[in-house]
Structure 1
Amino acid sequence: MPSSKELFFKGPYLRQNWSLPDSIIYSITKNPSNSKAWQKLIQSCKYFFFKNPNFVIRKLSFHCNGKWEISLNKVKIQFSGFTNISCKFWLTYKFDICSCNSTPETVSSLISRLYRCDVKKLILDEQNISFNEFLFLTSNVENIKLRHVIVKNEEGSIVPLEKLVKVLPKIKEFEFYDNFNSSCISKNTVKKLLEISHFSKINEFALFNIPESIDIKEFWNYIKKNKFTKFTFYFQETISEGYKNRVDEIIEAESHDYKIPKINFKTISGEKWEKMVSLLDKHK
């Protein structure tokens, strides 16, 4: 990929005589109101991109082949890295990091290359990021998938799951894979989740690799009143028999006048799984 100067500033140019004061032009250049307006500005005049070199791109992905891919004006471009790219990117729709060939610091190392992140879809695999980086990436997110992602506060403590959900007011679909050795789920997680005003407005909420520490009884009580959210729960294979019995209660209940959650754990019997599938089909 050519550098920003090679791409935009070869050939002759004319000095601009603005009809607006320089202070306003400076403000427009350094603080663009939205991505669509900025896209039009840099297409209409070289000055704006020269003073604030950032591209508006729809998608940014890291693939298993070890290459990055951007979607720009319906054109897809793959490249090996950002070393020779001097401009920054303004992401508007989707940011996706595959765990193959990436490192846990891939996202953190990229943050300085992003001018702004307004994506609606975010998919991260096996990344270690700070809470401030999480906030930067998720300001406009509606659909998020975090697979074995560890988010830490400044002092190094793990950010609890409920805090991640709380800062996602626009979220519609939430999918989270907990880490066995660095869990962000505790006995207070459910209570804290239910205190979040927008939690009841989430369309789909899925948790994988759930530890026994989660208060499943309180979740069941909420689910029985829930008429909106579709829940998915996949538990760790290490959960005790006593805990499994509590999980079985929702499967064995005689009546289900609420949205049936999808439940699974490693040692679930074939009979119970078939009943689970049957309940899900019945309540679609």
Structure 2
Amino acid sequence: MTIPKELYDQCCPEYQKLIKELEEKNAYSTRHNYNHDDPSKESTEIILKFSDNYLTPNKYWEQCVNTIVVLEPKPVGWEKRYHKVLAIARKHFYFHKRINEDFFSEIDNHSKMLIVYEEDLDESGQYYSIDEDDLSYPHNCLKKCFHHFEKYSLRLPPTNVIKKYEQMKTLYTKIKAVEKDADKWIKCLKEFGNDTFLLNNVENRLGKNLMDINLWKTYMAFLKEDGKNQRLLETYSKYCRFFLDDKEMKEVYKSEMIKYGPVKLQWKNLFDFEICGDCGESNPEKDFDGNEKSDKDESMDEDVESDTDCDMKDIEQIDKNLYSTFYDKFHIQSFHFRESLIHCILKNANHRLLRKLFFSCKYFFFKQPTPICYRLKMDSEECFEDESIVVKPSSNLKIFFNDTYITGSIEINKSKEPVNKFISNLIPCLYRCEAKYINLVYQNLSFEELKFLIQHGGVIELNLSTSKIIDENDDYIFLEEITAFLPNIEKLRLERIKINANTAHVLATQKFNSKINDLFIDKICGEPFDSDQFLNYLIVCKQRSAYWAEYVYVF
């Protein structure tokens, strides 16, 4: 059986009978499939025919979609049928996790869901392009999306984007905390202020558990209270085509249809009270809330537009003589600060304040000539874009960098011989480094050079998996000496690291503010490593407020 037995057993006897017939037709179609060019067509049509009359569980839509997608070679017209299936399935509360975004974007903002599938967030940022819009609504991958956005951005993320992200992160936590209480959950969804977001997420949850009668009734009560009459009647119609034995709800639906209807519905087996008009005329045009549109509304819109045009025409032109001699009479940026105060401000300013000072007056850059680079990357061609610098392995660093302040990410991924000293040669050209994302491939660094890059404590990702870090005695570094500078680390990859008998105890005393979701350590040396002790440490740390690792690889 396609649907879970648990769901089947909870369905009413009449619906169970229909499901049995559907399964028998499906099985017969599979055994006697004569369409070798398109083996998905017959089974898909059977399910679509069933969906014309009854609310269809998600598992059948998954079967349709998966059957179409796996076809090789693709038959003629497969894409058209694929989109047709997805559009119909959407009306049955099915939200496919991998869809044609362009196809749905104009329909209902399908992508704005509480649940974002992490496998769609490709590490390279190529498959799923993170932009500001992905940070503007609450969902389960907000933090990961923000880190992608930060890591691959060409300039410092705007303050308003960061503020919006923080708000959405707080709202998601609030939504998650009350998800077991349907009424409170819907009210929290409403706080986002987007009707489509709320409706999609409630219906997505209903589709995953059609037997959640409490959510059904809470949702319908919300739609009625909020005046979404058309959506309310559509939801009643779906409920009554799944809970076929609920005669009481059908009577409530009938009274609501008389009060708020008629509306155009997707079903072929319409009830008597659902038929629109005695002559089968089409439904009157309605707005999103189910209210009929009138000629009066259209004329009011025209009046508003004409009034706006009149207001624009009434704006008087500014007399240019008012400001023509302004620069002759006034001195701009005449500072009365003592030199030592300006010097103190500049020397202690972080990169955000420096940006503002440099933007306000070139005097500040003259006093503190510190170019700011948000992202440094190595590639085959040299390039400047926004606050990003791309260099080649052979680039002359003194031309590109002069007391430069790196604030976002560093990505050095070339392995040819001269490149392994690239970072060592770069550091003397830098003023400061506060990069959060550091990916160094085949680099040979001293521990002092590494500290220059990570001592600010804000590193989120550090990948040194193919690099060599040594101290002044040409010896490898203890793990705890590196993690002492990484209180906010979430992804850590190291190679050729030393561990001693006290490593686990020292790690236990260090403070980690974030949850490390990726820890990879290769080629450990030093004293014999007690893996059981380290495992016990991980278990203890996982129970604390500052979590350790989800994925741990130690070799």
If the length of structure 1 is used for normalisation, what is the TM-score? 0.64
> Which amino acid in the other structure matches residue 44 of structure 1?
S
Cα RMSD (Å) of the superposition?
A: 2.9
How many Å apart are 1:55 and its aligned residue? Answer: 1.3
1:207-236 Cα shifts (integer Å, max 9, x gaps)? 24344843212123334443542132153x
| Aligned pairs for 1:1-284 within 5 A | 17-29=334-346, 31-63=347-379, 65=380, 67=381, 72-73=386-387, 78=391, 80-85=395-400, 87-101=402-416, 103-138=419-454, 139=456, 140-176=458-494, 178-179=495-496, 184-188=497-501, 190-192=503-505, 194-199=507-512, 201-211=514-524, 213-225=528-540, 226-227=542-543, 228=547, 229-233=549-553, 235=555
How many Å apart are 1:42 and its aligned residue? Answer: 1.8
Aligned mates of 1:223, 1:17 — CA distance in 2: 59
Is the partner of 2:499 in helix, strand or coil?
coil
How many Å apart are 1:152 and its aligned residue? Answer: 2.4
Aligned mates of 1:77, 1:126 — CA distance in 2: 18
Aligned mates of 2:511, 2:383 — CA distance in 1: 33
Q: Which has the higher contact order (CA 8 A, sep 6+)?
A: 1
How many Å apart are 1:27 and its aligned residue? Answer: 2.3
> Which amino acid in the other structure matches residue 344 of structure 2?
S
Is the partner of 1:170 in helix, strand or coil?
coil
> Which amino acid in the other structure matches residue 552 of structure 2?
T
**Residues 1:58 and 1:216: Cα distance change in structure 2 (over 3 Å):** same
Contact 1:60–1:71 at 8 Å: present in 2 too?
Answer: no
Matched positions, count: 213
Aligned mates of 2:444, 2:431 — CA distance in 1: 20
Contact 1:190–1:215 at 8 Å: present in 2 too?
Answer: no
**Residues 1:26 and 1:224: Cα distance change in structure 2 (over 3 Å):** closer
The aligned residue for residue 245 of structure 1 is none
Identity %: 24
Query: Which has the larger helix fraction?
Result: 2
> Which amino acid in the other structure matches residue 406 of structure 2?
L
**Residues 1:83 and 1:105: Cα distance change in structure 2 (over 3 Å):** same
Aligned mates of 1:69, 1:189 — CA distance in 2: 47
1:141-181 Cα shifts (integer Å, max 9, x gaps)? 122111232222234332112211122122222122x23xx
**Residues 1:104 and 1:76: Cα distance change in structure 2 (over 3 Å):** closer
Query: Which has the larger strand fraction?
Result: 1
If the length of structure 2 is used for normalisation, what is the TM-score? 0.35
Contact 1:58–1:71 at 8 Å: present in 2 too?
Answer: no
Aligned mates of 2:535, 2:480 — CA distance in 1: 17
**Residues 1:219 and 1:86: Cα distance change in structure 2 (over 3 Å):** closer
The aligned residue for residue 269 of structure 1 is none
Higher mean displacement: 151-160 or 92-101:
151-160
Higher mean displacement: 104-113 or 154-163:
154-163
Is the partner of 2:398 in helix, strand or coil?
coil
Aligned mates of 1:189, 1:122 — CA distance in 2: 28
Contact 2:373–2:389 at 8 Å: present in 1 too?
Answer: no
The aligned residue for residue 248 of structure 2 is none
Aligned mates of 2:390, 2:444 — CA distance in 1: 27
Higher mean displacement: 41-50 or 186-195:
186-195
Aligned mates of 1:200, 1:17 — CA distance in 2: 44
Aligned mates of 1:200, 1:44 — CA distance in 2: 35
> Which amino acid in the other structure matches residue 233 of structure 1?
Y
Gaps of 5+ in 1: 1-13, 236-284
